């Protein structure tokens, strides 16, 4: 099944565009879990069990696993293996390098870890992205306009009359002749999100920044879904998984995920939109 088909299917099954980020920071885990042999996996498993019917998938930022060395990478693999079909598995790695190195990254994420999608940095151009596009049923979410404040340092620079993020969107539309591209666009930039959607009406968007970063959820839904099509994956990490640091953490995560999903679904049918 192609990525777009899998996305549409799970969005319908769970009535959800919400993706939960499993960014399990061991310093923030409930203290009682630290007594477990594998606290990261135990935490992730509990979050998955409590939210699996409310989400379209899970996003795992690989940095939270790599810094723990082999123990962390083992927890990453166990977590990915535990995520049930048909939920999406997105690895947030932001990789980007020359072709032969990018090919090894693609093999690691798609073949070894079994991800459905990976975030990719386009700075080195098409030869750094193309190895991720060789997998017919996967998706490369290419950084376009990120949710962090530092995005303005480069991504807003104007060249030939338009900002860099629109040049990226235009280029990724060209690359999507392979049908395997998406864009990362932060919910913290609602007006720019509209511009990018107009430039790339058929691409799926991975939209971070709605939780702790305070992004505009309403705009994310309006411009992400693009006329009602399930082309948005709206990601929230810390606000959901750290809703509690007590033994009730899994239930509190479920409560917050249900609240966010309900808000997303409300905005899907609401004509009102504010992008300020």
Which residues are marked as active site? 94
Nearest to 243 by CA among 10, 28, 9: 28
**Inter-CA distances, 3 with 100, 175, 244, Å:** 24, 16, 33
Collapsing DSSP states into helix, strand and coil, what is residue 136? coil
Neighbouring C-beta atoms of residue 27, cutoff 10 Å:
5
**Maximal CA-CA distance, the chain:** 57
- Do the strands 162-163 and 158-159 form a parallel or antiparallel pair, or are they unpaired? antiparallel
Residue 198 to residue 121: CA distance in whole angstroms: 21
- Asked if 8 and 230 count as a contact pair (C-beta separation under 8 A), the reply is yes
**Inter-CA distances, 192 with 18, 63, 149, 167, 185, Å:** 21, 28, 14, 13, 9
Helices (H), 153-248: 164-175, 190-199, 217-225, 238-241
Q: Enumerate residues 6+ apart whose C-beta is below 8 A from 220.
A: 187, 190, 193, 207, 210, 232, 234
């Amino acid at each position: 099944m192609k990525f777009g088909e899998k996305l549409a299917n799970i969005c319908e099954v769970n009535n959800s565009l919400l993706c939960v980020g499993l960014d399990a920071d061991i310093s923030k885990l409930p203290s009682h879990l630290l007594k477990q042999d594998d606290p990261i996996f135990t935490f992730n498993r509990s979050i998955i069990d409590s939210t699996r019917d409310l989400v379209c998938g899970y996003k795992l930022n690989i940095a939270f696993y790599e810094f723990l060395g082999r123990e962390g990478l083992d927890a990453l693999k166990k977590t990915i293996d535990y995520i049930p079909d048909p939920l999406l598995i997105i690895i947030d790695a932001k990789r980007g390098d020359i072709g032969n190195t990018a090919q090894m990254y693609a093999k690691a994420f798609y073949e070894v870890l079994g991800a459905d999608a990976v975030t990719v940095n386009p700075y080195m151009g098409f030869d750094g992205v193309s190895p991720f596009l060789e997998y017919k049923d996967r998706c490369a979410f290419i950084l376009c306009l990120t949710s962090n404040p530092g995005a303005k340092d480069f991504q807003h620079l104007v060249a030939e009359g338009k900002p860099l993020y629109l040049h990226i969107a235009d280029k990724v539309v060209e690359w999507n002749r392979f049908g395997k591209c998406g864009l990362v666009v932060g919910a913290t930039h609602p007006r720019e999100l509209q511009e990018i959607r107009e430039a790339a009406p058929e691409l799926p968007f991975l939209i971070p920044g709605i939780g702790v970063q305070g992004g505009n959820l309403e705009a994310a839904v309006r411009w992400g879904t693009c006329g009602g099509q399930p082309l948005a994956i709206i990601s929230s990490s810390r606000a959901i998984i750290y809703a509690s640091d007590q033994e009730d953490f899994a239930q509190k995560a479920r409560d917050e995920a249900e609240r966010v999903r309900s808000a997303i679904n409300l905005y899907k049918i609401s004509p009102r939109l504010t992008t300020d």
